[in-house]
């Protein structure tokens, strides 16, 4: 067992109001520069919708993530070394600028310098890329607030087969929720494995995935390999860029900018302990529907004496162990088991998780003529909610509706219990027992989800300067590297150190 620490995030989608404050503050902090005008390290998508870039979830088209070969081994969906070498200068599996959107500026000089007259001057849009007049026809969230749903939402890759027939895009019958997205900082990142120059790397001390700008050669294989399409190319420098998880703030013990400025207080940051030796095995789980449990099994209980002893032996500081025990992320993912990863079928083992949205379930009970005080009636209504279980399952559980239903039932029981407590009653303990919660656990979960204080939502231990010196002085490896090649150390940011065109496979093979 090789214990390592990882900073992770959980987002409660019930609390996202789609205000885009997180996107704007991230944009101002990280991509307010020439060359990345079109890049949004954090964006908020309206679901159902085709997303940003368009239909990024359709891996039959974009070839992102991992798959299993005939012998059950992890392989990149984008192909092996030979294929990447042959397409080094012409990669066919890349979204075009029209799939993102063409960044624009405006003829501001026309407004400022227009002569006096009867006509009102206008500022026409011009392409930042070409400088020529253009039309604004797409954006990072064109479907926001159902604005494009009738025209575009039917192209959502999660609405395939019979589900497309079930969902009708009519105002009185449709549904929507907001999905904030950023780099998943995966345990088994496909972008790192696909990078020919070794520029993509995963930090040993906290798991954050970054790009070494000095080593990046702009091959763009990382863009293809990332199934979430959260790696961008700076068209001015030709280098890859991506979400940094605000590592300077993390090192100072502060939350990310998107978390700090979130109006809905829906984001949680914390530390997780995991067994690095089991990452490849978990990612290679044969049945896609078992990937969620396999990833949870990789995570370790920070209160277990054996885990604590092994973590100390691995050099994890005491304050980090204390932070892991207080982690709201571990509580939501492993203790209460209500947080789910985005598209686990990509086999990247993402470390940004989501609490799925719960529709107004008591309204559904009343509409069906049921008793709102009867747990059986309430739980049965979960299957008839406005947001189809199949849709949420396609997003978060590789199509397993039972797993999603279990989470929603737990949230429903919690909501019913707290509603009765608010009304001065004893609470719905029968409903809690049906979903495996005690009254005390329900109270704790309610405090965490609804009224958690700042220090309870963000438990981020500060970096240790002595660890940085130690990492500089010794060779370190990528957490999931098994190829036998030592990685080059560079301060606290440890790179894979792989030779050019050698493919590193975090699942365990080169």
Specify which residues 125 forms β-bridges with.
106
Return left, alpha or beta for 409; rule: phi > 0 is left, psi -120 to 50 is alpha, else beta. Answer: alpha
Residue 428's domain comprises: 264-457
- The single-letter DSSP state of residue 233 is E
CATH of residue 424? 3.30.70
218 in any annotated domain:
no
- Residue 11: the pLDDT is 98
275 in any annotated domain:
yes
Question: Domain count of the chain?
Answer: 1
- The single-letter DSSP state of residue 231 is E
489 in any annotated domain:
no
Closest CA to 3 of 491, 479, 506: 479
- Residue 486: the pLDDT is 34
Specify which residues 353 forms β-bridges with.
10, 341
pLDDT digit string (tens) for the chain, length 510 residues:
899 999 999 999 999 999 999 999 999 999 999 999 999 999 999 988 899 999 999 999 999 999 999 999 999 999 888 888 888 788 888 999 999 999 999 988 888 888 888 888 888 899 999 999 999 888 888 877 655 566 777 788 998 777 877 776 665 567 789 999 999 999 999 999 999 999 999 999 999 999 999 999 999 999 999 999 999 999 999 999 999 999 999 999 999 999 999 999 999 999 999 999 999 999 999 999 999 999 999 999 999 999 999 999 999 999 999 999 999 999 999 999 999 999 999 999 999 999 999 877 656 655 656 665 666 666 666 766 778 889 999 999 999 999 999 999 999 889 888 888 888 887 778 888 888 999 999 999 999 999 899 999 999 999 876 665 554 443 343 444 333 333 333 334 433 332 222 233 344 333
Helix/strand/coil percentages in the chain, nearest 5? 35, 15, 50
Enclosing H/E stretch for 7:
strand 3-12
Q: Are strands 3-12 and 352-355 parallel, antiparallel or unpaired?
A: parallel
DSSP of 159-216: S-THHHHH----TTT---EEEEE-----SS-HHHHH-TTS-EEE-TTT--EEE-TTT-
287 in any annotated domain:
yes
Helical residues (DSSP H) of 31-115, grouped into ranges? 59-62, 81-86, 97-100, 108-113
- Report the Cα–Cα distance between both ends of the chain, in Å, rounded: 22
289 in any annotated domain:
yes
Specify which residues 267 forms β-bridges with.
11
60 in any annotated domain:
no
422 in any annotated domain:
yes
Provide the Cα torsion 80, 85, 89, 94; round to 10°: 0
368 in any annotated domain:
yes
């Amino acid at each position: 067992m090789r214990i390592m620490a990882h900073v992770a995030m959980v987002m409660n989608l019930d609390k996202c109001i789609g205000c885009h404050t997180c996107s704007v503050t991230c944009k101002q902090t990280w991509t307010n520069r020439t060359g990345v005008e079109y890049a949004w390290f954090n964006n908020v998508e309206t679901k159902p919708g085709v997303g940003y870039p368009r239909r990024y979830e359709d891996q039959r088209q974009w070839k992102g993530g991992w798959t299993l070969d005939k012998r059950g081994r992890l392989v990149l969906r984008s192909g092996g070394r030979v294929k990447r070498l042959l397409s080094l200068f012409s990669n066919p599996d890349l979204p075009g600028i029209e799939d993102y959107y063409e960044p624009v500026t405006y003829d501001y000089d026309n407004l400022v310098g227009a002569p006096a007259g009867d006509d009102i001057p206008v500022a026409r849009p011009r392409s930042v890329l070409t400088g020529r007049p253009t039309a604004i026809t797409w954006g990072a969230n064109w479907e926001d607030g159902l604005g494009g749903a009738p025209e575009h939402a039917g192209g959502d890759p999660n609405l395939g087969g019979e589900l497309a027939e079930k969902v009708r895009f009519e105002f009185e019958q449709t549904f929507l929720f907001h999905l904030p997205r950023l780099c998943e900082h995966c345990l088994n990142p496909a972008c790192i494995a696909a990078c020919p120059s070794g520029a993509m790397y995963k930090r040993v001390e906290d798991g954050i995935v970054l790009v070494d700008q000095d080593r990046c050669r702009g091959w763009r294989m990382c863009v293809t390999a990332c199934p979430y399409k959260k790696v961008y190319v700076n068209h001015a420098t030709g280098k890859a860029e991506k979400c940094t998880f605000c590592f300077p703030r993390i090192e100072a013990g502060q939350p990310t900018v998107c978390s700090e400025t979130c109006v809905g207080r829906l984001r949680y940051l914390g530390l997780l302990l995991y067994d690095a030796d089991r990452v490849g095995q978990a990612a290679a789980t044969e049945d896609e529907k078992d990937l969620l449990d396999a990833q949870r099994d990789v995570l370790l209980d920070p209160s277990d004496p054996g885990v604590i002893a092994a973590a100390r032996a691995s050099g994890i500081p005491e304050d980090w162990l204390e932070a892991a025990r207080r982690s709201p992320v571990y509580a939501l993912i492993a203790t209460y088991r209500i947080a789910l990863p985005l598209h686990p079928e990509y086999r990247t083992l993402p470390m940004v998780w989501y609490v799925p949205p719960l529709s107004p379930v008591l309204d559904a009970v009343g509409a069906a003529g049921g008793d709102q005080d009867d747990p059986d009636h309430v739980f049965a209504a979960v299957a008839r909610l406005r947001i189809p279980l199949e849709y949420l399952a396609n997003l978060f559980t590789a199509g397993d509706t039972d797993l999603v239903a279990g989470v929603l039932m737990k949230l429903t029981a919690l909501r019913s219990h707290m509603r009765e407590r608010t009304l001065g009653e004893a609470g719905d303990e029968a409903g809690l027992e049906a979903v495996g919660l005690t009254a005390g656990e329900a109270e704790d979960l309610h405090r965490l989800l609804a009224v958690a204080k700042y220090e309870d939502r963000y438990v981020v231990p500060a970096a240790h300067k002595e660890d940085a010196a130690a990492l500089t002085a010794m060779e370190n490896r990528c957490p999931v590297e098994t190829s036998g090649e030592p990685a080059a150390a560079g301060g606290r940011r440890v790179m894979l150190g792989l030779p050019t065109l050698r493919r590193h496979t975090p699942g365990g093979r080169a």
